[in-house]
A = this chain, B = another copy of it.
């Protein structure tokens, strides 16, 4: 039985483009009519809900479409591929994190023992609050972490965050070496992230207790490097 094969080679779809290219994740089309804006929201909402329900397994395009009360075709009007949907959700978080740290860096530098501890505390509070405010996005972040295609993109943001932690450390103590600041930044981020994630999976009381643990650990980690009273480097 033969089927008349329709020629479709003229389409020259960008099959040559590497998958990870930034453009491949850009929205395919801007919504022109009002109804379509709502459609985009519906898609994102559906993807968020399904990711929360299914845990690590990322939802299929069909599932997302159905949950949003749409067809697959409609989804692809606004998103070039499935990953772009998740990434759209994740960026809200990934972009917010650097801002919070950057804001802390712009604050005046402490110069006494007391204000140093206060600075750590402020950074701790701000980042902690960020996790609480975005608790519903965490399943998406975890899904992205476990997705080979999206992991590299998250890594970029992570590097950015690490660099900002390091910059913050050097903001508090300008004499801190780059290499040390970077290492401490990595540890602060990883420890903070993993503890907040497990904390959020429990009740609020447990979260708060684990947060205290994080602060304890952060302080113990950075005190030897930041406490200007202990290791007198002298000048400002």
Q: Which A residues are closer than 8 A to B by beta carbons? A: 55-57, 145-148, 151, 183-184, 186-187, 190-191, 193-195, 198, 206, 209-210, 213, 216-217, 219-221, 224
Q: Which of chain B's residues have a CB closer than 8 A to the CB of A220?
A: 216-217, 219-221
Q: Which of chain B's residues have a CB closer than 8 A to the CB of A206?
A: 183
Q: Which of chain B's residues have a CB closer than 8 A to the CB of A146?
A: 56, 145-148
- Evaluate contact between B186 and A198: CB separation under 8 angstroms: yes
Q: Which of chain B's residues have a CB closer than 8 A to the CB of A224?
A: 216
Bound-state Cα–Cα, A61 to B9, Å: 32
- Evaluate contact between B183 and A190: CB separation under 8 angstroms: no
In angstroms, how far is the closest chain B Cβ from the Cβ of A143?
Answer: 10
Scoring A56, A209, A219, A220 by chain B CB atoms within 10 A of each residue's CB, the highest score goes to: A220
Bound-state Cα–Cα, A194 to B217, Å: 14
- Evaluate contact between A190 and B186: CB separation under 8 angstroms: no
Bound-state Cα–Cα, A224 to B217, Å: 12
